[in-house]
Amino acid sequence: MKIKLFAMAAVAVFTLSACSLRFSTNKEENGKIIEKTFGIKDFNSLELGGYAKVCYTVSDTFSVRVSTAEGDMKKLKVEKSDSTLLIGNVPDVDISSRIWRLNNKTCNERKVYITAPYLKNINVAGAVDIICNDTIVTEDFCVSISGAGKAHFACVKAHDVILAISGAASMTADIQEAAWTELGMAGAGTMDIGFHDCVESRAQVAGVGSIKLRGVLGTLRQEVAGIGKINTDELTLTGKKYSSKDDKE
């Protein structure tokens, strides 16, 4: 599944990214911290918009729980579309409230806890951090981040892996036994990717971003446009390395 990365990244501009953000700077309006559980099940994909700190845990059961300020909970939108869990902000019809009045305390308060057997697609737009310290096992694994979020995936076991960043986001991931991995960086973000018995990867950088590769990999195809870089100092190749001028695919 050699999907062209930048074509895929364009698809990542999903509906939730269009939601406006409205943060109250009034502590009394925000209210106390409360928790809410959403009875949503049977999802294998995730779309995140707005702002949040998300913790995903691999489990046999499905669960979605949010902890945030009382006033902020009213601005939260959580629903399912087909097999995708959607989490973002309720669209605000008041044009004047579309100005981002960021309140760091409120932003840090919104925490989302998700459990599911696996996630195969994760799309992020906005100031969202997502972390998974478990091993994700799936046939295909695709992550696209647009904005300034952070992502950490401790271990991914999949046949095909696609990881894409557009903006100033950062991502760390360790990948095991993948046949094909596609990495794309557009903007000023960073990636730190570890390979463990993986066959082939294509890494693309456009802009000032950087990709660090480490571990053991068969074949690497790399393309750099701009002043960005691909660091392979800690990468061991068992096959060949191709630069953009050599890659005719």
Q: Which residues pair with 68 in a beta bridge?
A: 34
- Amino acid 142 reads C
Cα separation, 95 vs 8, whole angstroms: 31
- Amino acid 176 reads Q
Ranges of residues in the chain with a pLDDT under 50 are 2-28, 93-105, 247-249
Tell me the per-residue pLDDT of 178-219, one tens digit each, with 9 for 90 and over.
999 999 999 999 999 999 999 999 999 999 999 999 999 999
Q: How many CA atoms lie within 13 A of 249 on its CB side?
A: 12
Q: Which residues pair with 112 in a beta bridge?
A: 54, 66
In the chain the first and final C-alpha atoms are separated, in Å, by 13
Tell me the per-residue pLDDT of 208-238, one tens digit each, with 9 for 90 and over.
999 999 999 999 999 999 899 999 999 999 9
Q: What is the pLDDT of residue 29?
A: 57
- Amino acid 11 reads V
Q: What is the pLDDT of residue 108?
A: 54
Cα separation, 19 vs 128, whole angstroms: 14
List of long-range contacts for 92-96, beta carbons under 8 Å, 24+ apart: 92/20, 92/22, 94/22
Going along the chain from its start, the domains and CATH numbers come out as: 5-15+34-89+102-242 (2.160.20.120)
Q: What is the pLDDT of residue 156?
A: 99
Q: What is the pLDDT of residue 247?
A: 43
Nearest to 222 by CA among 181, 187, 194: 181
Query: Is the Cβ–Cβ distance between 163 and 184 less than 8 Å?
Result: yes
For the purposes of burial, counting CB atoms within 10 Å of the CB of 238, is it exposed (0-12), middle (13-18) or buried (19 or more)?
A: exposed
Judge if pTM exceeds 0.85. no
Q: What is the pLDDT of residue 97?
A: 40
